[in-house]
Amino acid sequence: MTDDESASVQRPAAVSRAATAFGRAGSGRAGDVADPVRAQWRAELAAVGGRSPLLHFADAPSTRIELSTTHPGGLARFITGQTTLLSQLIRDDVALRAARVAADNVTAKGLELSTTRGIDSVRLGIGLASWSGASTNGADGGEFCAPILLRPLAIRRHGRDFELKLRGATVLNPALATALERQFGLVLDPEAFVALSNADGSFKPNAVIDQLRALTGHLADFSVQPRLVVSSFAEVAPQLTADAFDLEHPVLDALAGNATARWSLEEAAAPVEPVDSDHRDPSTDVLLLDADSEQELVIAQIAAGNSLVVKTMPGTGGTQTIVNALGALVGQNKRVLVVSPRRATLRGIAQRLADIGLSGAAVAPSTLRRDVVRSIARNERAHQPNLGEVDEALVRLRSVLLDYRGSLSRPDDELGVSVVAGVIKI
């Protein structure tokens, strides 16, 4: 929207129409034996995270920080995006003690989801809509309580207090918009609703509250409350199920029980044996980090395009094997997507690449611009090293070490034992 459109809000924030039916994803192939397993996977993904807090918010003192009746001075500072202490927002001692308990719970949950799942879940909920209704997807029904607008928020401890800071843009709760369309045929315009809250450049949520009240005034048991609450609003199931819309892939088909797909993978597999490091040409040794023989075998299979699962224990070189595999695939001019349930793992991989001078080789959506700039700067400074003399020296030294190791392992002509065997025996 342009600035003029934001100020005047020419288009309506919602229109009424009949709710549309949403079909389920299918494989596109009739009678596929993998279809029941795919359906089971989608059902399991849809259940991840339990009931959505975007539709069934647990409005309890221990699960949210209530900012609806805050001090005007602190609220003005908070709304403008400045870092604000919780004690500056809530001046009443009794209310502040309850807010600190809730802030402790919200902070702990946000940290847990961020570090273990890579999900930034803490949001400021602006306005709460409550109603009783039918299920929106065959599973979630009954009593609904949903924030209207959401804005990302950072919260952290500051001594006995807590610091709060708004970040990012305000958005309309997508789950609320979907539920109102499916249940009541109301289609909300996300951009228009957000524009209502910022009509003259300042944050004024009352316009959003009034607009939703006007649109839902004819609905029984539908209430809209002018509330400001900070809580963990994490809904992961819709994105996961959207990603699982098309699950047709040879590996997934084989895992789902398709015998033909399994046979195809087995026939296509071509295990390779890496050349022993004691005998291969140094010019072919292009691993980014050190690797033992088992790790080199794994990397060779990945570089050859074979599908495999590798299970490792902590501290056994799993990260450096991943980095080496990335180097092998990028060396083949391939793009690689690295996924992990833990954000710390991805950071560890990126740090390993940065430690060897490859900062920017791995890019993340949240730091895409910075990573691309680093990559361009690194490529501009890069030059092809002349390793001919180094490789020749390595071959000579390796030959000396191999002869030395062979002499230690070679049995003596008179005694019939080697030096190594004697040392082991002693």
**pLDDT tens for each residue of 91-114:** 988 999 999 999 999 999 998 888
The pLDDT, as a whole number, for residue 134 is: 62
Whether 423 has a pLDDT exceeding 90, the answer reads no
**Helix 318-330, helix 343-355: angle, nearest 10:** 60
The encoded tokens of residue 247 equal 């699950």
Q: Between vectors from CA 334 to CA 330 and to CA 338, what angle results, nearest 5°?
A: 75
Distance CA 189, CA 193 (A): 6
The pLDDT, as a whole number, for residue 141 is: 58
The model's pTM: 0.67
- What is the longest distance spanned by two Cα atoms in the chain? 105
**pLDDT tens for each residue of 132-184:** 876 544 445 588 999 999 999 999 999 889 999 998 889 999 999 999 999 99
Q: Please give the average per-residue pLDDT across 305-312, as a whole number.
A: 87
Poorest-pLDDT segment among 207-216, 378-387, 391-400? 378-387
Q: Please give the average per-residue pLDDT across 113-141, as a whole number.
A: 77
**pLDDT tens for each residue of 186-221:** 999 998 888 888 766 667 788 889 999 999 988 888
The pLDDT, as a whole number, for residue 112 is: 86
The pLDDT, as a whole number, for residue 165 is: 93
Q: From residue 198, give the alpha-carbon distance in Å to each of 50, 212, 360.
A: 33, 16, 37
> What percentage of residues in the chain have a pLDDT greater than 90?
25
Distance CA 136, CA 115 (A): 31
Q: Between vectors from CA 268 to CA 267 and to CA 272, what angle results, nearest 5°?
A: 110
